[in-house]
């Protein structure tokens, strides 16, 4: 990994940690969030999700065609299943139970959509690496 990339990300994380501290967060919470951001910056180039272009200056992470195709397919899968889930809730609560759909049920569908997106993205990345 490029030393300039690491140095620039460390500087960004330091500024981020100080900003969180000045915003009123407790020092340990700001340090935890800054550490999580640093962890992302260390893992991102190796994850296969991004390509590091050092000539791009302060924004070296880019997505290549493979990453965009995987993201688009995972997004479509998650969106379709979310629509089907909301339609199912509407049918169950509208026709069978004759009550309004609870907000918690919609929150559950949205949480499931995020989980489906992450799982679909992960499975596609694993399967395309083997090719």
| Tens-digit pLDDT profile for residues 78-127 | 999 999 999 999 999 988 888 888 999 999 999 999 999 999 988 888 88
Give the pLDDT score at 5.
78
Name the pTM for this structure. Answer: 0.63
Evaluate if residue 130 carries a pLDDT over 60.
Answer: no
10: helix, strand or coil: helix
Question: Residue ranges of the domains in the chain?
Answer: 3-62, 65-130
Alpha-carbon distances of 90 from 80, 96, 102, 108, 113, rounded to whole Å? 15, 10, 10, 14, 17
Per mean pLDDT, which range of 5-19, 25-39, 40-54 is the poorest? 40-54
Alpha-carbon distances of 61 from 15, 67, 77, rounded to whole Å? 19, 12, 25
Give the pLDDT score at 58.
66
Distance of CA 59 to the CA centre of its chain: 18
């Amino acid at each position: 990994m490029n030393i300039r990339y690491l140095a620039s990300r460390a500087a960004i994380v330091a500024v981020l940690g100080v900003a969180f501290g000045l915003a009123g967060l407790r020092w340990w919470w700001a340090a935890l969030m800054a550490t999580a951001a640093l962890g992302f910056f260390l893992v991102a180039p190796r994850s296969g999700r991004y390509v590091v272009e050092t000539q791009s200056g302060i924004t070296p992470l880019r997505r290549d065609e493979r990453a965009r195709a995987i993201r688009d397919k995972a997004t479509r899968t998650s969106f379709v299943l979310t629509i089907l889930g909301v339609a199912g809730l509407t049918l169950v609560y509208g026709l069978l139970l004759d009550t309004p759909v609870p907000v918690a049920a919609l929150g559950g569908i949205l949480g499931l959509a995020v989980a489906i997106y992450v799982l679909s993205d992960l499975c596609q990345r694993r399967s395309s690496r083997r090719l």
